[in-house]
Structure 1
Amino acid sequence: MKKKREENVELADIQAVRERMTQWAIRLWLLLIPVIVGIILSTQGESTARAGNFIVRIAFLLILMGAGYVAYLRNLERKYWAKYQQIHRMDNLPIDDVRKYLAQAGTKVDLGKMTDEEFQQFLDAHRL
């Protein structure tokens, strides 16, 4: 069953996803250390070659899994950002859609008498 996402997305949610992406990117860079150690072990001699190859393979597997998770987080960030823009920016919508949204929110404004500049200020003030 698919997890239901929240309808209201805030900048804090987007920032949290970005922080997780940064943390995972750092972890992926740190996984290069075992790769280097494994390569060194595999070239030292026959006694350590098997362990070195094993370490390199495991580190590469972890890097691939981490890269997939970072790609998932990047996709999630894009979805959150699109939802945030859809919720909070309505200045590019037709005036009828804005009227319908304001009626649902319970706000009464005469949009017909507003100039474009006043309308833009109204949208900015109400984070629409």
Structure 2
Amino acid sequence: MRPSEPDQQVIAAAEARARTLGENANHTVAAAVIDIDGRVHEAVNVFHFTGGPCAELVALGVAATAGAPRLLAIAAAGDGGRGLIPPCGRCRQVLLDQHPDILVAIPTADGPVMRPVGELLPDAYFR
């Protein structure tokens, strides 16, 4: 589905934050999530050779810290002009476990689309 206005807002926030990352190899991806109250929460990844947290997971923590009641959509963007990027498998599983109704921004040749996280992880593990 095409991004709604709130979805476009979260995509723009992730892309804008990614443009600020500069040359720091420890922070190469930005993410933004929008909650049901319309608040956008931004974050960046924390790269570490042991598998530091992805920007999407940090964004979930930032939103939780702010008391976000329910998350509606999430987007991630890469540094160096990479633009919108899809979440990795680990992030997909965490999103599905913690926010099974969240929409995820996915880049396509025709521009961004929003997909339910469950569609990104077919035959997912359920605990």
Q: Report TM bin, short chain.
A: under 0.3
Q: Higher helix fraction: Structure 1 or Structure 2?
A: 1
TM-score w.r.t. the length of structure 1 is 0.25
Q: Higher strand fraction: Structure 1 or Structure 2?
A: 2
Q: Which has the larger radius of gyration?
A: 1
